[in-house]
Structure 1
Amino acid sequence: MRRWHRMRRTINYVNLSTPLGLLVARLGRARVTPGPDGLILAHGYRIPFPVAGAFTVGNVVLTRHDEAEGYLSGALLRHEDRHASQYAVCVGPVMLPLYVVAVIVSMLVCGNQASWNVFERLANLEDGNYPRVPPWWVRAARRRSGGE
């Protein structure tokens, strides 16, 4: 494990975001297993919120998918890994209200929860299976000019 991943793991425990993630995993009756780079993978999450294929709280990556499906791998796992780093930089649980504000901004700008969400953009939209939707004013200008 790289030095940054060891530091991130410690920071996210101290800032309480990983313990919060473990609590969410337990409440959602997810099976917790160690993952790469200090991440903790939680499969079989049963609570219907949030509506996402996977989401991260601290170093805990949660998904409704079963471990055998191999859902948490490749680009998606790299995307969630970046979110774990964001928790370390954003002082842990403070990231949650900041993320909600980013979702609201993205919805206002383009009608999509992720396309203009700074956290999702920094985690690479495509790795998280999110589309790149242009702002509403760009789409409106294209419609007016006959481009869409």
Structure 2
Amino acid sequence: MKPIPGDAPDMDVVGVDAVAAGLAAEYAAAVAAIAAAEAQAMSVLARAQAVGLERVAEIPRSAGREAELPLRALAAELGACARQPDRSVQRRMNDAHTLVNRFAATWDALAAGVVSVGHVRAIVEHGVKLTDPEVRAAFETEALERAASTTPGRLGP
């Protein structure tokens, strides 16, 4: 008797599904590890920004353009070690400082591998405009809930 299509699973398809499931699990673990590494790098950059801001605060206000030199020097040092442009590192230092200090739950989710850098960008881009810390925290909580089930591109709108 010939089997009716759709009556029973084809053993080859089941094997392919098992392979795909295994690959998907490996990929998900790798993506989570990348997110955790990004969070670690952002932590370093945020600390560098904080150190730079402390050093800037020690400079007399009359120093003019020289006041930004501590931040630029730290960015240049980090950039040289990572073979990245100092201006890019300086921008990332500022972004990381904002993330760690104003969006701590989002940073925690990134460190845990729950969200990606793309999710983080969307949350910070839309949430940074909120000046009331309580409103921003409520926004962040809802955004993280949505991020768990959607792509960064769909999270923004």
- How would you bin the TM-score normalised by the shorter chain? under 0.3
Higher helix fraction: Structure 1 or Structure 2? 2
> Under a length normalisation based on structure 1, what TM-score does the superposition of the two structures give?
0.28
Higher strand fraction: Structure 1 or Structure 2? 1
Larger Rg: 2
> Under a length normalisation based on structure 2, what TM-score does the superposition of the two structures give?
0.27
> Which structure is higher in RCO with an 8 Å CA cutoff and minimum separation 6?
2
